[in-house]
Structure 1
Amino acid sequence: MSGFTHNTTSSFAALIRLLKYARGYRRQIIAATICSTINKLFDIAPEILIGVAIDVVVNQEQSFVAGLGFETAREQIAILAILTFFIWAGESVFEYLFQILWRNLAQRLQSDLRQDAYEHAQRLDMSFFEARSSGQLVATMNDDVNQLERFLDGGANAMIQVMVTVVAVGAVFFVLSPLIALLAFTPIPLIIWGAFYFQRKAGPLYADVREKVGDLSSRLANNLGGIATIKSFTAEQREAQRLKASSEAYVEANRRAIRISSAFIPVIRMAILAGFLATFTVGGMMALEGTLNVGAYGVLVFLTQRLLWPLTGLAEVIDLFERAMASTRRILDLLAEPVHVDDEGGKLLETPVKGDVRFEKVSFYYPSGVAGIRDIDLHVPAGDTLALVGATGSGKSTLIKLLLRFYDPVHGHILIDEQPIQSVSLQSLRGAIGLVSQDVYLFDGSIRDNLAYGDPNAPESAIIDAAKTAEAWAFIEMLPEGLNTQVGERGIRLSGGQRQRLSLARALLKNPPILVLDEATSAVDNETEASIQRSLRRIGHNRTVIMIAHRLSTIVDADAIAVVEGGRIIESGTHQQLLERDGIYAAQWRVQTGQA
């Protein structure tokens, strides 16, 4: 995920990107901002009323309020009390409103971001997932999104209210005494400079924090997924130390960021003290000399604190902002990842799909430089069985990935029933293909849920028929809960052979015209292999089957066998033809049958 975290885009650029993403929520953002602004204006009003009250007590009939038509001091106090009530009530109402608006916006936006990121990730080609750990992706879609939510819950409102305070209080200051306003505002440039300085310093540090979170999540996911291997090698202590190292790296990254953000508060406090002392002393002298109204002096003193003390919280707000923008960059960078396998979307495979598969001069090379395939020509007539054999890494699985459009070929074309697969929708293409992989993945849930994964609305009779065809029904019936048996994460509660049979049944329930078996019997015992072979002989009728196999005994009945080596097809024919040719296939056959 280095492409996510080593982005040098500034935090404010990330904020602009976020606002562009959230343009559908523009009304909610504007409404929340207005409520935050009005709440803060109500919040600073009591300090002004205190100064006005002091003016009433000192000057009575000559006070500012008297000039508004309230002659007696009692009337003036009464009207100030009424104003105070409405101001406090208004502040409470708008605080309720801005909290509702910001928090609901945070919930809605984080949900949309997570959903959009997940749906976009599903459209990315397999090379994206092969180059990145699942832990990093989970951290981006979960922890990073939550970090942004925390900022929207409180940090956004805090930033807006600090700005409103500076503008509103500054306006009152310049009306009452331009000289004191200049003195009180003298620390503001230093505070703003400090904020931007610490922001620049903290930005890269928080990007590193997000990177370390991803590493830690990846380590946890890998270790929990591989717990059986860890136990079998008695590597618990070693893995605990490796996790501790990842955790300590995260702590250290946070420590560096905290050291920078924590230094901001003492600097701001000293700047605030300078502004407050200037107002306190100069204003006091002016009040004693009679050049400044006593009530105005009271307003200035109270508002100086209103103006400057909230700025101490700016460090915490900036800390939250930096963490959120570091997370935002990672989320939006994920959303910006290009989709290389485009889904044409509209055109469908012509039905009924016969299953005629053709590779024409197909070449493909992996971005990592791992060998791919070159100039592959293959034809599998509808209803035939093609077996692909060859050493690991020869290119067999690559052909399957290209057929399913996990990747697109660099050169050449792949056709099904004479239609180029790039011209049809991915749903139409993959809906016509059933895949049984060597690495069986069962979802945490019941056997029924896993079998019906390709067709959630399948009737129970169809589920049972598919299980019988795959020779899985016998062991399912023996389980106490039958189809309702929970398989556990990745099917951990079942044996390898049972998982393989369920995988085959799951593919068969789709009733695909093309069935792909990627070394489906390589990890099972002889009895299970024999049962799967019986299943294949039954399901191969009126269906195109493409199978990859290391055990040559499983493919002797195939209509055609292609030997792949170094990304090329070097031999092809039936089992008997290849034996008579006495090439690589025949040599491998002799080794596996003990004739060598």
Structure 2
Amino acid sequence: MSKDSKRGGIRPGGFGHHGSHRGMPKQKAKDFKGTLVRFLGYLKPHRSILVIVFFTAILSTIFSIVAPKMLGMATTKLFEGVMMKIKGVPNASIDFHFIGRILITLLVFYLISSLFMYLMQYLMSGVAQKIVYVLRKQIDEKISRLPLSYFDKRTHGEVLSRAVNDTENISNTLQQGLTTAITSLVTFIGVIVMMLSINVLLTVLLILTIPLSFIGIKWISGKSQAHFIQQQKQIGNLNGHVEEMFTGHQVVKAFGREKQAIEKFETINNTLYHSAWRAQFLSGIMMPLIMFTSNIGYVLISVVGGILVTKRMIEIGDIQAFIQYARQFTQPLTQIANISNLIQSTMASAERVFEVLDEKENIPDRKDVKVLSYPKGHVRFENVSFRYKEEEALIEDMTIEAKAGQSVAIVGPTGAGKTTLVNLLMRFYELRSGHIFIDGIDITDMKRQDLHQLFGMVLQETWLFKGTIRDNIGYGKQGASEEDIIAAAKAANADHFIRTLPDGYDTILNEEGSNISQGQKQLLTIARAILANPAILILDEATSSVDTRTEMHIQQAMNQLMKDRTSFIIAHRLSTIQDADLILVMDKGRVIEQGTHKFLLEKGGFYAELYRSQFSESDSFTELKSI
């Protein structure tokens, strides 16, 4: 596709409802350390809250760690009472009072642990949402400062994925992963301390089983990582294919390509199935492996512990407590292994977000900007040169002039540079050399916002958002009154059809605007442009996708809109621009002819040939219809 055919260059709200939600493959960050350091900078403003979170995590975990030891004490007391009764010790009894105190204490501990856990989650949720709020805000502001060339090289789905999916991934990790990491670490250390306090030999035996788990986990993670990357890649391919088939379902049906679409879906789906199966299978082995090594530890503890109990070197309640600690010991290891993969994925997401934030922005507005208080619309291109790629020239040394109030038509074959000319006028791209003046002021001496407010646009690809007709017309002018909106609709010949709708101006347009016709949508965009009352108009093939009758209504509305305004009309149908004050004929980025319709026909050049070819086709079609 040529740059000239990228209508997105001058489409308002291009980051709107047409973007896809295509997911990007999740993989490891290219610069994990650098990304982590930069990401930690977002945590700095919340240091005090994070310190509280850390201590609440420690407290909630400590209470749960102490519980098995206390239960062991209760078990020992119960066992001692039973054994004394069996041995026939006089007045022997079970000290239920002591056991009851322990149970009540445990209940209080568990309650306090739950409260601290609740406080930890509450605080961490706030921190996570604040950080992600800042990231989303930064991305949104960054997008408004990015040059159009950035979006030329990327799909809407990719930009949306970074702004939505990646920030959501960061949010989930902050909210769940960070607290889990803290509690897992505290549990791991606390359990080792408690086990050492019970028996050093049993602790050493259990710790010796850890390398088995780590070796297995590392091997499985290495094998499954490639399959997870492939899985995410195929999910992206599947989403992209489904999006294309849904948005272009009419074309698919019209050309009878359903079978090929289904076959392509099955190919992608099969590849996704196999990569997902391998990834999930390998990751699923991790838990049985950990359980296997844990069971080895339990066997060692049971055998050695039993021997120690018989030798009166340890209490039976301590063995019970130790087995519970052994179970708690493996849980944080599993969680830390899972979190390590999650952190890798999160840092990859953070890196993708930072890549957007680090993109080269539009050249900043100058501090000593000039303002057009009463714009007239006199436009002059002076020795303008521009190219999308350094090695490919597009516009070279162009000089043209449009006087205030003139209608200037731009014609030429696809890829000639017609839309590029308008993009340069609105400073969507920076010039390679030369100058563009509006009312004698260089556009680089103006604020971009002020420059864009000079223009109104009616494009071939209409853009309407989900909302009422009133809101869509009112989009052209902030704070527009009801009278202003209705007056603009009347001037655009749209008031009549609006009032025939059941809800009139309160009719809600759906996201695609498909509940009104293409011609009606175009009339609404013209009404919006009339309301904006711009000094300069851009009309990009605004009537090409409607029938002849509707075209007449739209043309009347555009004539009203163009009155006393400088207008740039990009046209393919030359019948629509015969009354233009100036016609610029472009080819390969150059203005090869310019003048009025009559002058160019008499000249007998490129324009005359283009005009004759169009009307000979039209005449042939008329003759065929009359047969």
TM range (shorter): 0.7 to 0.9
Matched, 1:450 2:467: no
From the superposition, tell whether residues 410 and 560 of structure 1 become closer, same or farther in structure 2 (CA, over 3 Å).
same
Alignment-derived partner of residue 66 in structure 2? 45
Matched, 1:274 2:296: yes
Paired with 1:148 and 1:90, the residues of 2 have a C-alpha distance of: 30
Alignment-derived partner of residue 300 in structure 1? 322
Paired with 2:315 and 2:44, the residues of 1 have a C-alpha distance of: 48
CA contact (8 A) 1:40 1:91 kept: yes
Matched, 1:220 2:252: no
Alignment-derived partner of residue 168 in structure 1? 190
Alignment-derived partner of residue 85 in structure 2? none
Matched residues, number? 585
Q: Deviations over 1:341-374 (max 9, x none)?
A: 5466984633222322222322222249776322
Q: Write the mapping of 1:123-202 to structure 2, written as runs, cut at 5 A.
A: 123-202=145-224
CA contact (8 A) 2:492 2:560 kept: no
CA contact (8 A) 1:213 1:250 kept: yes
CA contact (8 A) 2:185 2:332 kept: no
Alignment-derived partner of residue 591 in structure 2? 569
From the superposition, tell whether residues 46 and 29 of structure 1 become closer, same or farther in structure 2 (CA, over 3 Å).
same
CA contact (8 A) 1:361 1:375 kept: yes
CA contact (8 A) 2:585 2:591 kept: yes
Alignment-derived partner of residue 360 in structure 1? 382
Q: Deviations over 1:104-124 (max 9, x none)?
A: 445555555445444433443
* SS of match in other structure, 1:230: helix
Q: Write the mapping of 1:443-592 to structure 2, written as runs, cut at 5 A.
A: 443-592=465-614
CA contact (8 A) 2:139 2:163 kept: yes
Alignment-derived partner of residue 417 in structure 1? 439
Provide structure 1 residue ranges, at least 5 long, that are not aligned to the other structure. 61-71
Q: Write the mapping of 1:229-378 to structure 2, written as runs, cut at 5 A.
A: 229-292=251-314, 296-314=318-336, 316-318=338-340, 320-321=342-343, 323-340=345-362, 342=364, 347=369, 349-367=371-389, 372-378=394-400
Paired with 1:256 and 1:290, the residues of 2 have a C-alpha distance of: 51
* SS of match in other structure, 2:509: coil
Q: Write the mapping of 1:10-21 to structure 2, written as runs, cut at 5 A.
A: 15-21=36-42
Quote how far apart the aligned CAs of 1:182 are. 2.5
Q: Deviations over 1:545-566 (max 9, x none)?
A: 1111122232233232211111
Paired with 1:293 and 1:215, the residues of 2 have a C-alpha distance of: 61
What amino acid is aligned across from residue 387 of structure 2 in structure 1? Answer: Y
Matched, 1:390 2:412: yes
From the superposition, tell whether residues 190 and 369 of structure 1 become closer, same or farther in structure 2 (CA, over 3 Å).
farther
Paired with 1:267 and 1:119, the residues of 2 have a C-alpha distance of: 48
Paired with 1:243 and 1:32, the residues of 2 have a C-alpha distance of: 47
CA contact (8 A) 1:135 1:219 kept: no
Alignment-derived partner of residue 441 in structure 1? 463
CA contact (8 A) 2:191 2:325 kept: yes
CA contact (8 A) 1:362 1:413 kept: yes
Per mean C-alpha deviation after superposition, the further-off stretch among 25-34 and 482-491 is: 25-34
Identity %: 33
Paired with 2:479 and 2:595, the residues of 1 have a C-alpha distance of: 41
Alignment-derived partner of residue 403 in structure 2? 381
What amino acid is aligned across from residue 223 of structure 1 in structure 2? Answer: M
Alignment-derived partner of residue 91 in structure 2? none
What amino acid is aligned across from residue 326 of structure 2 in structure 1? Answer: T
Quote how far apart the aligned CAs of 1:6 are. 6.9
The CA RMSD measured in Å over matched residues stands at 3.5
What amino acid is aligned across from residue 55 of structure 2 in structure 1? Answer: I
From the superposition, tell whether residues 436 and 554 of structure 1 become closer, same or farther in structure 2 (CA, over 3 Å).
same
What amino acid is aligned across from residue 448 of structure 1 in structure 2? Answer: R
Q: Write the mapping of 1:96-111 to structure 2, written as runs, cut at 5 A.
A: 96-111=118-133
Quote how far apart the aligned CAs of 1:575 are. 2.7
Alignment-derived partner of residue 448 in structure 2? 426
From the superposition, tell whether residues 393 and 18 of structure 1 become closer, same or farther in structure 2 (CA, over 3 Å).
same
Paired with 1:7 and 1:123, the residues of 2 have a C-alpha distance of: 28
Paired with 1:121 and 1:557, the residues of 2 have a C-alpha distance of: 40
Alignment-derived partner of residue 91 in structure 1? 113
Of the three residues 28, 33, 38, the one matched with 2:54 is 33
From the superposition, tell whether residues 489 and 222 of structure 1 become closer, same or farther in structure 2 (CA, over 3 Å).
farther
Q: Deviations over 1:371-418 (max 9, x none)?
A: 632222222233222221111110010111122232222333333233
From the superposition, tell whether residues 58 and 591 of structure 1 become closer, same or farther in structure 2 (CA, over 3 Å).
closer
Quote how far apart the aligned CAs of 1:438 are. 1.6
Paired with 1:346 and 1:82, the residues of 2 have a C-alpha distance of: 75
CA contact (8 A) 2:29 2:351 kept: no
* SS of match in other structure, 2:467: coil
Per mean C-alpha deviation after superposition, the further-off stretch among 483-492 and 7-16 is: 7-16
Quote how far apart the aligned CAs of 1:592 are. 3.4
Quote how far apart the aligned CAs of 1:3 are. 9.3
CA contact (8 A) 1:347 1:424 kept: yes
Paired with 1:204 and 1:508, the residues of 2 have a C-alpha distance of: 56
Quote how far apart the aligned CAs of 1:142 are. 4.0
CA contact (8 A) 2:474 2:485 kept: yes
TM-score by length of 1: 0.86
Paired with 2:510 and 2:392, the residues of 1 have a C-alpha distance of: 35
Paired with 2:447 and 2:611, the residues of 1 have a C-alpha distance of: 40
CA contact (8 A) 1:190 1:271 kept: yes
Provide structure 2 residue ranges, at least 5 long, that are not aligned to the other structure. 1-21, 82-93, 620-627
CA contact (8 A) 2:526 2:558 kept: no
* SS of match in other structure, 1:590: helix
Paired with 1:583 and 1:144, the residues of 2 have a C-alpha distance of: 55
Per mean C-alpha deviation after superposition, the further-off stretch among 406-415 and 533-542 is: 533-542
* SS of match in other structure, 2:380: strand
Q: Which has the higher contact order (CA 8 A, sep 6+)?
A: 2
Q: Deviations over 1:63-112 (max 9, x none)?
A: xxxxxxxxx97775565345323311211211222232344445555555
Alignment-derived partner of residue 5 in structure 2? none
CA contact (8 A) 1:561 1:573 kept: yes
Paired with 2:457 and 2:367, the residues of 1 have a C-alpha distance of: 21
Quote how far apart the aligned CAs of 1:334 are. 3.8
Q: Deviations over 1:20-65 (max 9, x none)?
A: 34544444444333323322211111112123335556789xxxxx
Q: Deviations over 1:435-494 (max 9, x none)?
A: 111211222333222211222521122122222222223332333332223333332233
Paired with 2:594 and 2:308, the residues of 1 have a C-alpha distance of: 103
From the superposition, tell whether residues 412 and 4 of structure 1 become closer, same or farther in structure 2 (CA, over 3 Å).
farther
Paired with 1:260 and 1:334, the residues of 2 have a C-alpha distance of: 34
TM-score by length of 2: 0.82
From the superposition, tell whether residues 197 and 174 of structure 1 become closer, same or farther in structure 2 (CA, over 3 Å).
same
What amino acid is aligned across from residue 37 of structure 1 in structure 2? Answer: I
Paired with 1:460 and 1:222, the residues of 2 have a C-alpha distance of: 40
From the superposition, tell whether residues 211 and 507 of structure 1 become closer, same or farther in structure 2 (CA, over 3 Å).
farther
CA contact (8 A) 1:183 1:279 kept: yes
